[in-house]
Amino acid sequence: MFMQQWYIFIGFVTWWVLVTLISTYILIKLVRFAIKHNLVSRLFGWLSKVTDVEKGKEFFKI
């Protein structure tokens, strides 16, 4: 009985480590892609256009 629980524990730990490694790898790939293609500054530029403070003030002027 103890051995069976031990195998389950080892399997769970192995699965958790694999999932963590794969998700970290994908995250690093995405970040490198974003930096390579200058997507972060483009995104912030688009956000600043969408949430432009002066236009917002004019739009919500009562």
CB atoms within 10 A of CB 29: 10
Is there a domain that residue 51 lies in?
yes
Does 54 have pLDDT greater than 70? no
Instruction: Give the pLDDT of residue 34.
Output: 82
Is there a domain that residue 30 lies in?
no
Instruction: Give the pLDDT of residue 57.
Output: 61
User: Residue 21: which pLDDT band, with cuts at 50, 70 and 90?
Assistant: very high
Q: What distances in angstroms separate CA 46 from CA 12, 32, 54, 60, one per listed residue?
A: 43, 20, 15, 20
Tokens at residue 3, please? 């051995």
Does 62 have pLDDT greater than 60? no
Q: What are phi and psi of 51, to 5 degrees?
A: -105, 55
Q: How far apart are CA 18 and CA 10, in angstroms?
A: 12
The pLDDT of 34-59, averaged and rounded, is: 71
Is there a domain that residue 31 lies in?
no
User: Residue 19: which pLDDT band, with cuts at 50, 70 and 90?
Assistant: very high
Domain range for 60:
36-62
| Token pair 């051995």 in the structure block, residue | 3
